[in-house]
């Protein structure tokens, strides 16, 4: 997220960029400083626990998306496909494999350290398991797996929670202790979780600011910047607490001034369409994609993608009093671990609470976890709320599957459709 051209001039944005850049520098220096790294995933991850042992998290998904933003993914994917990886599968994995081949150079141009531990948090996506099986063949390092069961019946049962907590206690913590050579410190964890909860409060306030008219934020395109620190390496840190406090202050100020969101081309002038967006964004043409919205005055007021790491807006907070249990619930509760009925309920609630004009699905070729079922979700939300629903297709990091003219054509039709339905301006 740091490579994107400077679009936000706000302090919070600068702060965020520095935080992330510093983290990558620290990773690059790790072989010299002796700091150790743990590779793990975004959804429902155990950042606090990892940092409890002073280990540095590395998130291959983030590397992949950064590679895409820097225009490297095409070549990485090609390299992986040359090795026999199929065209049909998740491009994050291929991008990561290709990046490894190209020397494992991270987004800041510095080399990423090899993992000292692969912490496979198998949450909300089956591909994660395959991904780390592949990485395990690449690196000669220990791997430990946290299997997080799916909320198939739409709830977290005691046995699920127990299964996760037991694994954390009996497998994950010992593996982390072994990798770091440090003992687990529960009091430190409680402190971390307290800070997590604090940052989470501010983040929720930021996301919910979109209920204002005009919305001061874009909760999808802008949103991906907001969730960066909390879903990656910073949850539970003092830095995160500061960042989210600052961010929230800025946003509340925008609300007070009645300002719209900042877009790649400056402040958005008129808010013409309020959308809820389901599905991850495309990273290879992120700005081009965003522009297709901002130019038409479309603001994303809520999105499911900004809940991939974890869902906070239904009240979940990390809890210092139930440290391991709340970690387990965090893992179990991330958006892609919800069953389809719960996802539909969530989107419906967003459409209503954020007074959206429509639901737009960006269906991602790579990601079965998100995409399988989206067509049905779209119809269901449409039926329940009566708002027009739109559908576009692209991919996360494979530029071959981003057809700008096609998407633009669909989006324009969609916007005109909303407008027509309003009995509005043009017709």
Partner 1 sequence: MNYCVGIDLGSTTTKAVVLGESGEVLGRGITNSRSNYEIACDVSVGEALISARFGLLEEALAAEGVEADRRKVQLEELEQGFREEQYRGDLRELGSVMGRLLEAGTYSAQEADAVTCVLDKMEQNAGSLYGRGKSRKSDFFRDLAGGEYLELVEGEAKTRALSFDRLVGLYDKAILEVENTVAHDESFSSRIKAALGRIPEQDALLAKAISAVVAMNLTKAGSVGTGYGRQTLPFAKEDIRSEILCHGLGAHAMFPNTRTVLDIGGQDTKAIQVDGNGIVTSFQMNDRCAAGCGRYLGYIADEMNIGLHELGPMACKSTRPVKINSTCTVFAGAELRERLSLGEKREDILAGLHRAIILRAMSLLARSGGIADEFTFTGGVAKNPAAVEALRKLIQENYGERTLNISPDSIYTGALGAAMFAQREWRRRHCA
Partner 2 sequence: MSANRILELVESAEETYRDMSLASVKAWKEKTGGLAIGFMPIYVPRELLHAQGVLPVGIMGGGDDLEIIRGDAYYQSYICHIPRSTIELGLGGQLDCLDGMLFPAICDVIRNLSGMWKFEFPEKLSRYLDVPQDFTPEMGGEFYKSELLALIADLEKRGARPYDKEALRASIRLFNELGGIVRDLYALRRASPWKVPTAELYCLQRAATIWPVEEAITILREYHELVLADETRTPMDQARVVLAGSFCEQPPLGLIKTLERSGCYIVDDDFIQVHRWITRSLDVEGDPLEALVNGFLFDAMASPTRYCGDKTKGTELVTRVETAGAEGVLFCAPSFCDPALLDQPMAVASIEKAGIPWTAFRYSENNGQFQVIREQAGTFADSIKLWSGV
Partner 3 sequence: MTKEQHDSLLVAGIDVGSASVQVVVMRDNGPAGAEVLAHSSERLRRREPADVAQTTFNSCLEAAGLVATDLQYIATTGEGECVPFRTGHFYGMTAHARGGIFLAPDAKAILDVGALHARAVMMDEKAKVLGYRMTSQCASGSGQFLENISRYLGVTMDEVGPLSLEADNPEVCSAICAVLAETDVINMVSREISTANIIRGIHDSMAGRFAKLLRSLKVEGMALVTGGLSADVGLVAALEDACCSKKGNISVTTHELSAHAGAIGAAIWGAFRFRKLAGKGLQLGVGAS
Residues that bind ligand SF4 (CB under 6 A): 61, 90, 92, 125, 127-128, 366-370, 396
Query: Contact between 81 and partner 3 (CB under 8 A)?
Result: yes
Phi and psi based region of residue 423 (left: phi greater than 0; alpha: psi -120 to 50; beta: remaining): left
Report the partner that residue 403 touches, choosing among partner 2, partner 1, ligand SF4, none (CB closer than 5 to 8 A by kind).
partner 1
CA count, 13 A, side-chain hemisphere, 65? 20
Measured from the CB atom, the residue of 248 and 366 that comes closer to ligand SF4 is 366
Measured from the CB atom, the residue of 12 and 363 that comes closer to partner 1 is 363
Q: Give the Cα separation of 246 and 240 in Å (integer).
A: 10
Residue 148 burial (C-beta neighbours within 10 Å; 0-12, 13-18, 19+): buried
Query: Contact between 84 and partner 3 (CB under 8 A)?
Result: yes
Measured from the CB atom, the residue of 96 and 419 that comes closer to partner 1 is 419
Question: Judged by CB under 8 A, which of 22, 25, 33, 82 binds partner 3?
Answer: 82
CB of 154 to partner 2, least distance (A): 8
Residue 85 has which token pair? 């990886």
Closest CA to 397 of 116, 107, 61: 61
Q: Give the Cα separation of 204 and 140 in Å (integer).
A: 40
CB of 265 to ligand SF4, least distance (A): 28
Measured from the CB atom, the residue of 120 and 189 that comes closer to ligand SF4 is 120
Q: Which of residues 388-407 bind partner 3 (CB under 8 A)?
A: 400
* φ, ψ dihedrals at 403, nearest 5°: -105, 100
The 8 Å CB, 24+ separation contacts for 223-228 are: 223/300, 223/303, 223/305, 223/306, 224/1, 224/281, 224/305, 224/306, 225/1, 225/8, 225/13, 225/16, 226/306, 227/203, 227/306, 227/309, 228/1, 228/16, 228/20
Measured from the CB atom, the residue of 110 and 288 that comes closer to partner 3 is 288
Residue 205 has which token pair? 């306030």
Residues interacting with partner 2, by CB under 8 A? 83-86, 88-90, 93, 122, 125-127, 129-131, 133-134, 137, 143, 145, 147, 149-150, 152-153, 157, 159-160, 162-163, 166-167, 170-171, 339-341, 343-344, 363, 365, 368-369, 371-376, 380, 393
Q: Which of residues 190-209 bind partner 1 (CB under 8 A)?
A: none
CB atoms within 10 A of CB 141: 16
What is the bridge-based pairing of β-strands 266-267 and 262-263?
antiparallel
Question: Judged by CB under 8 A, which of 21, 78, 156, 255 binds partner 3?
Answer: 78
CB of 400 to partner 1, least distance (A): 10
| Residue 57: strand, helix, or coil | strand
Measured from the CB atom, the residue of 83 and 177 that comes closer to partner 3 is 83
Measured from the CB atom, the residue of 83 and 185 that comes closer to partner 3 is 83
Stretch of 28-36, 66-74, 147-155, 402-410 lying at the interface with partner 1 (CB under 8 A): 402-410
CB atoms within 10 A of CB 74: 18
Residues within the interface to partner 3 (CB under 8 A): 78, 81-84, 400
Residues within the interface to partner 1 (CB under 8 A): 375, 379, 382, 388-389, 391, 393, 403, 405-406, 409-410, 412-413, 416-417, 420-421, 427
């Amino acid at each position: 997220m740091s490579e994107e051209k400077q679009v936000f001039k706000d302090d919070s944005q600068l702060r965020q960029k520095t935080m992330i850049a510093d983290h990558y520098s620290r990773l690059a220096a790790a072989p010299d400083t002796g700091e150790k790294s743990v590779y793990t995933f975004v959804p429902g991850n155990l950042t606090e626990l990892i940092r409890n042992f002073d280990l540095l998290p590395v998130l291959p998904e983030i590397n992949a998306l950064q590679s895409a933003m820097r225009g490297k993914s095409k070549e990485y994917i090609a390299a992986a496909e040359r090795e026999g990886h199929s065209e049909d599968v998740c491009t994050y994995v291929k991008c990561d494999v290709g990046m490894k081949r190209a020397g494992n150079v991270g987004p800041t141009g510095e080399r990423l350290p090899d993992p000292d531990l692969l912490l496979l948090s198998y949450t909300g996506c089956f591909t994660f398991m395959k991904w780390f099986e592949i990485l395990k063949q690449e690196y000669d390092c220990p791997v430990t797996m946290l299997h997080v069961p799916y909320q198939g019946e739409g709830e977290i049962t005691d046995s699920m929670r127990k299964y996760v907590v037991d694994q954390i206690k009996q497998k994950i913590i010992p593996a982390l202790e072994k990798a770091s050579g440090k003992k687990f410190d529960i009091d430190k964890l409680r402190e971390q979780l307290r800070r997590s909860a604090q940052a989470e409060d501010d983040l929720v306030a930021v996301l919910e600011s979109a209920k204002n008219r005009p919305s001061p934020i874009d909760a999808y395109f802008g949103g991906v910047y907001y969730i960066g620190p909390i879903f990656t390496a910073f949850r539970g840190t003092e830095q995160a607490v500061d960042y989210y406090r600052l961010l929230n202050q800025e946003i509340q100020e925008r609300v007070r001034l009645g300002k719209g969101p900042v877009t790649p081309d400056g402040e958005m002038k008129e808010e013409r369409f309020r959308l809820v967006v389901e599905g991850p964004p495309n990273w290879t043409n992120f700005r081009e994609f965003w522009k297709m919205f901002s130019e038409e005055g479309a603001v994303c007021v809520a999105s499911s993608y900004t809940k991939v790491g974890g869902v906070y807006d239904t009240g979940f907070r990390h809890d210092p009093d139930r440290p391991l249990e709340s970690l387990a619930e965090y893992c179990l509760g991330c958006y892609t671990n919800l069953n389809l009925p719960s996802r539909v309920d969530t989107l419906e609630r967003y459409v209503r609470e954020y007074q959206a004009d429509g639901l737009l699905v960006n269906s991602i070729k790579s990601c079965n976890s998100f995409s399988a079922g989206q067509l049905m979700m779209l119809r269901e939300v449409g039926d329940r709320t009566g708002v027009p629903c739109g559908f576009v297709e692209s991919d996360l990091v494979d530029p071959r599957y981003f057809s700008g003219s096609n998407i633009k054509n669909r989006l324009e039709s969609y916007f005109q459709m909303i407008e027509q339905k309003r009995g509005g301006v043009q017709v």
